[in-house]
Amino acid sequence: MTTPRSGRPDSGAVPSIPMVAEPDVDRSASLGNLVKEASTQVSTLVRAEIELAKLEVTKSVKQGAIGGGFFAAAAATALFSLFFFWFMVGEIFTTFLPRWLAFTIVFVLMVLIAAALGYLGVRRVKKVKKPEQTIASLGQTAQALKSAATHQPDEQVGVNQPR
């Protein structure tokens, strides 16, 4: 067992380093001074925690942005490589068909795929509904604010009514 500079035996725990040097405790301090000092220390701690959260979030956002950039580059590369894929398909068809017919077939196939994907997209977009609960909640909030502004009792909105 080792003895650190504090004179107490080391229990094997990881030593902690305070953010600021701890002042000597004034045993004759009043309760008001103690509360003031405690609130100052809590305020410092809260500010330090907020700063730490900002640093962590900033780091995470930067990492996410870099990852998003890589995904965008991958998507662009894949998109440009589709040209070569369809050109290859056309060249394979030229083994069995005249060149003009092979590339016409590839063109028609690409148009059909684009039409099918467009149809699926339109169907999916038509299924999107308006946020009815949010609209109702906003209406209730607006009505409550209007009645509060005119100092009328809030009978119509009903605080305990289910949404």
**Judgement on whether residues 73 and 98 belong to the same structural domain of the protein:** no
Residue 158 within any structural domain of the chain: no
Residue 19 within any structural domain of the chain: no
**Judgement on whether residues 60 and 100 belong to the same structural domain of the protein:** no
**Judgement on whether residues 64 and 35 belong to the same structural domain of the protein:** yes
For the full predicted model, state whether its pTM sits above 0.85.
no
Q: Strand, coil or helix: what is 84?
A: helix
Residue 107 within any structural domain of the chain: yes
The rounded radius of gyration (Å) of the Cα atoms in the chain is 34
Nearest residue to 17 (alpha-carbon basis) of 29, 4, 31, 30: 4
Q: Which domain holds residue 119?
A: 94-147
Residue 140 within any structural domain of the chain: yes
**Mean pLDDT, residues 97-113:** 94
**Judgement on whether residues 36 and 73 belong to the same structural domain of the protein:** yes
For residue range 73-100, list pLDDT tens digits in order: 999 999 999 999 999 999 999 999 999 9
102 close to 94: Cβ distance less than 8 angstroms: yes
Q: Is 80 exposed, middle or buried (0-12, 13-18, 19+ CB in 10 A)?
A: exposed
Q: Strand, coil or helix: what is 17?
A: coil
Q: What is the DSSP letter of 156?
A: T
| Number of domains observed in the structure of the chain | 2
Residue 123 within any structural domain of the chain: yes
**Judgement on whether residues 98 and 140 belong to the same structural domain of the protein:** yes
For residue range 63-73, list pLDDT tens digits in order: 888 988 999 99
Q: Is the pLDDT confidence value at 115 over 90?
A: yes
What is the spatial distance between Cα 150 and Cα 103, in angstroms, rounded to a whole number?
73
**Judgement on whether residues 77 and 98 belong to the same structural domain of the protein:** no
